[in-house]
Amino acid sequence: MHGIDSHCHLEKMEEGIIQEAKKHLAGVVTICADIGDAKRTLSLIDNKFIFGALGLHPESAGKYPQKAIDQYIQFIFSNRKKISAVGEVGVDYIWHKKKDEQERDEEVFRQFIELSKELKLPLVIHSRGDSAVHDAIRILTGEDCKGSILHFFSGTEQDLKDALESGYWIAYNTVICKSKKYAPLIEKTPLESILLETDAPWCSPFGNEKDNVPWNIIESAKKIGGILGMAKDEVLKRTEENARKAYGV
C-alpha cells in the first residue's frame, strides 16, 4: 500500500485509530504543536510507521514565557535523534490580529528557524490568515530555509509561485475535497512538490470538523487525481515518495 499522511496529531487520537491507519497507509507524520503534548508525541514515534516533529503552534507563542520556550527548545535539541522535523511553527493572523501579537509570533518563529538550522531538520510551517502565507514565505526565504513544508497551504497563486521558486513543499489538506478554491492552485502545483495531509483529528473532508482520520488522504488523492488526470494510486505513490524525501524518512 502507498500513502503518507504528512501532518496529523496522533496524540489527540485513540490507539484504535493508529492501528487502523496501519491497514491503509505506508506511514504518518505526527506533529506536536504544544509543549504539553511533546512527551506523548515522542512516545508514539517509532520511525518505522510513525514519524514525528516537535514544534510550537503560533497560537501558543504568547501563552508561554520565554523561559518555558527556551527550555522546550532545549528539550527538542535533546531529542533530536528521534524527530524528522521542527514544527509546526509559524504565524497565525486569525488568532493574533494585534501588531504586538504578530511580532511575537515572528520572534518565536525565528527561534525555531534557528533550531532547525542547528539540527539540520526541515520546518513544518503554520501560516493562517490574511498575508500570513506571504509573510511566512518572506521570513523563510530571508533565512534560506529550503525544504520547508507549508502545512495546510491556502495561499494565493503568487504565494504558490514564490513557494515553488524557493523549493518549499506544498501540503494540501483534506479540505480540498469540499472546497472549490483549491483546484486552481492544485492545477499549478507540480506533483513532485505536493504532500498530502489531514491535520486529523480536525478538517474532515466529509463535513464533521472533528472526525478526520489519517487514511482520508486517500480522498485527497482521488480529488487531486481528478484534477491532474491521474489515478488515485499513482498520486498516493508519488506523494509518499515526496513525503519520504521531505522528512528524510
In this prediction, residues 205-230 reach a mean pLDDT of 93
Distance in angstroms (rounded) separating the CA atoms of residues 143 and 148: 11
Distance in angstroms (rounded) separating the CA atoms of residues 157 and 33: 27
**E strand or H helix that includes residue 195:** strand 194-197
Residues 3-49: tens digit of each pLDDT: 999 999 999 999 999 999 999 999 999 999 999 999 999 999 999 99
Distance in angstroms (rounded) separating the CA atoms of residues 38 and 60: 13
Sheet containing 85-92: which strands, arranged edge to edge? Answer: 4-8, 27-32, 50-54, 85-92, 123-128, 149-150, 169-173, 194-197
Residues 43-96: tens digit of each pLDDT: 999 999 999 999 999 998 888 999 999 999 999 999 999 999 999 999 999 988
User: To which residue does cell 488522504 refer?
Assistant: 217
Distance in angstroms (rounded) separating the CA atoms of residues 79 and 61: 21
Q: Which domains does the chain have, with CATH numbers?
A: 4-247 (3.20.20.140)
Distance in angstroms (rounded) separating the CA atoms of residues 203 and 12: 13
Task: Check residue 96 and give its pLDDT.
Answer: 87
Mean pLDDT of the chain: 97
pLDDT at position 209 over 70? no
> What are residue 172's DSSP bridge partners?
196
pTM of the model: 0.97
Residues 105-164: tens digit of each pLDDT: 999 999 999 999 999 999 999 999 889 999 999 999 999 999 999 999 999 999 999 999
